[in-house]
Structure 1
C-alpha cells in the first residue's frame, strides 16, 4: 500500500469503487493509473449492461453491446493492477477513527467495506451504484427492440418512424413533445390511468400534434427479428410503432448512501461537488446516482474527475511546508510512493515507457527507429 501516513499503513486499499458501470470503472481506471491501490466490487447488471447497441460514445462502434463495452473496461482496469470482483457490497461503515480529530490530515480515517460476508478496509470509497428504471407492466417489447429508456441515446433510431411514450406525468408528456423534433407520429399511452401532468403541461400538450391514447394495451405484435410492430388496445384498435419510451421514474440504488448518511437532493440523487465529493469526508459518488444527464460519456467524465480528485486527495507528494517541518524532507527511501504490486504492474505494462510496446518500437540493436515524414 502507499504509505502516506501511519494511520493508513494497515488498510487494504486506497480506493474501493462500488459499482461497475462506465462511471465506476473510469474512476477505478484513473485511480489505478495514478498509483492508488484500487478495488472494484460490482454486483453485475445495470443500465449499460442491458444495451444491445452503444450510441453516442466516440470511438466505440454502434455494433458494440453494453456487455462487450463493460468487459473491455473491466479488462483494462485489471490489466493496470486493480482488483475486480463480482460480488455484492453489504455495508460500508467508517472505521472507529473516521472523521475524528487527528484521523488523518485529509479528514477521513478510512472505511470497512463488507462484501458477501467478507470485509476489507479502504481509505476512500466511491459509490457508483446508479439507479433502476421503473418498468411498466407487460405486454412489452424486448428492451432495445422497441422498449428504450434513454431519449438522448435512442431518439435517432426513430427518425420519421411512429413512436410511443408511456406514462401519466409531466415527464412523459414532455418526452412525447420532444420526440416531435425527430418524427411526426407520436402517441402518449396512459394505459387506462388518469393523467397527473400539470395544467400548464396539458395546455402545451393540447398545442402539439401528440395523440393521447387512454385505453390499456391488450396485445403486441413483433416482426421476425423481435422488433415491435404494433400494440393492440382493449378497444380493438391496432396502432403501429417502431419503438418508444416508458416514463415511470427511477429507483436510486442508494442503500449504502443512506447508511452513510450522505446528503441527497430533492430528486433523490446524491449531492456532490464538481469532483464527486459527497457530504461525508472520504466518500465520493459518480454516475447515475448523482445529478446530471444519464449518458455514458457524462458518466465517464464524472468518473475521470473523481479519479483525479482521489489522486490529489491521497497522493503523498509534494509534502507541504507544515509536513516538512513535522516529518522532515522527503527521503530517497520514500519514493516512488506507489505500492510494490502497482509498480511492478506499471513497469511491465505495454503502455509503460520501458514496457513491451517501447521495446517493439526499437531496432534490434536497441536504438529507436526513426520514421521520416512523407
Structure 2
C-alpha cells in the first residue's frame, strides 16, 4: 500500500524498457501498488523504428513505443518516477529500500530491468540507427541483398559476419587494425565463407546528405567501400551493480541468473529483460516482464487464503473483499476497459435487474 507520502509500494520496478514496463503494467493491473523508476535512455529508446513486435508498425520509434507504455502503466494506477536508483538494500522487516537521486522508496518486491549498454568502437562511426546497428535479429532484414559490414575482432564478430550471409552476399568483416582473437577453428570456418576480412582502420564516414544513412566507409590505406549498414560486435556492459549489491548470483556471461519467471537467487528480487540470459528482443523482454508480473502477483495476492491461515484466523469476512487497494479499485472502475463501463469515483455499480414475477 502507499503511505501518505507515496513512498511505500508492493512492487518497485527499476528500469523503464519493454521488460520493466510490462512488469509494472501487470503489477498495477493485478491490483498491486506499483512504482516504475526509470532514468531514461536505454537500448529501446535508441530504436529509430520498431521491428518484430506484432501490433506495432515499423514507423513507431523506440521513444514513441516507450511513451505509450508509460501512459498505459499510469492509466492502470501505476506510478512513474523519473530518477536514478543508486542503491537497494533489504530492510529488517524483509522489504527493500530503494534510494534514488532525490527520494527513498520502500517495497515488498523489487524488479531489476536495468539492461546493458553495447560497447561502442572508437570513432569515426556511422550514425546509430542509420548505418550502425547492434541487434542482428532486429535489423538484418533492412539489409537484405545490400552491402554490409561487421565490425569487431572476436568470436562474435566472426560468427555474425557468417550469419549475415543468410541475407546478403556482400559482407565485410572489419577488424579496424586489431589482431583477431577468434579461434583457429573459427578462422578455418571463416575462410570457407565468402567474407572479406579488412584489417585497415576506418578513417572516414560518408553519409547521404538528405537521409543521413550510411553510404560508404573510407579506410586508412585510401580505399573506399560502399555499405548500406552494419553491426558493431564489441561486447556488452551489463548494469548489474544493484543486483550484486543485493547478493544476486550472476552467470559466467555476466547476466543476472534467473529462473523461468525472473526470480533471482535472492528472495523477493526479480530480474527481467536484457540483463538476464537469452535473446535481446523486445517481444522476449515483454514476455519476461509478463511472467515476472504474474509470479509476483501469485506471491502477493491475498486470496485464496491458505488452510493454515483459515485455521488460525477464521474464514474470510465479507468486509475483507475485494482485496485491491481503494485507490487502484477506483482507478479500475473508472477505466475504459472496465466491464461495467467507466464510472465516476464514488458512483455505485449498476444493480442487476430483477426479473418480473406474476405477483
What band does the TM-score fall into relative to the shorter chain?
over 0.9
Corresponding residue for residue 230 of structure 1:
216
Q: Which runs of 4+ in 1 moved over 6 A?
A: none
SS in structure 1 of the partner of residue 67 of structure 2: helix
Q: Does 1:180 align with 2:141?
A: no
What is the Cα deviation at residue 11 of structure 1?
7.8
Corresponding residue for residue 7 of structure 1:
none
Give yes or no for contact 1:275–1:305 (8 Å, CA) kept in 2: yes
**Separation of aligned partners in 2, 1:13 and 1:189:** 49
**Separation of aligned partners in 1, 2:313 and 2:214:** 68
Q: Does 1:279 align with 2:275?
A: no
Q: Which runs of 5+ in 1 are unaligned?
A: 3-9, 98-108, 358-365, 368-374
What is the Cα deviation at residue 120 of structure 1?
1.6
What is the Cα deviation at residue 355 of structure 1?
2.4
Give yes or no for contact 1:28–1:307 (8 Å, CA) kept in 2: yes
What are the residue-to-residue correspondences of 1:311-330 with 2, within 5 Å? 311-330=297-316
SS in structure 2 of the partner of residue 306 of structure 1: helix
**Separation of aligned partners in 2, 1:201 and 1:261:** 37
User: How far does the alpha carbon of each residue in 1:299-340 deviate from its partner, in whole angstroms, 9 at most, with x for none?
Assistant: 000000000001101101101111111111111111111111
Q: Does 1:144 align with 2:129?
A: yes
- Given candidates 130, 138, 143, the residue that maps to 1:153 is 138
- Given candidates 148, 173, 186, the residue that maps to 1:163 is 148
Corresponding residue for residue 106 of structure 2:
121
Give yes or no for contact 1:217–1:231 (8 Å, CA) kept in 2: yes
User: How far does the alpha carbon of each residue in 1:273-323 deviate from its partner, in whole angstroms, 9 at most, with x for none?
Assistant: 000000000000000000000000000000000000011011011011111
Task: Using structure 1 for the length normalisation, give the TM-score.
Answer: 0.89
Q: Does 1:305 align with 2:291?
A: yes
Corresponding residue for residue 205 of structure 2:
220
**Separation of aligned partners in 2, 1:326 and 1:251:** 50
- Given candidates 175, 193, 196, the residue that maps to 1:190 is 175
- Given candidates 28, 31, 43, the residue that maps to 1:32 is 28
CA-atom RMSD, angstroms?
1.5
What is the Cα deviation at residue 268 of structure 1?
0.4
Task: Using structure 2 for the length normalisation, give the TM-score.
Answer: 0.93
Give yes or no for contact 2:23–2:290 (8 Å, CA) kept in 1: yes
Q: Which runs of 5+ in 2 are unaligned?
A: 344-351, 354-359
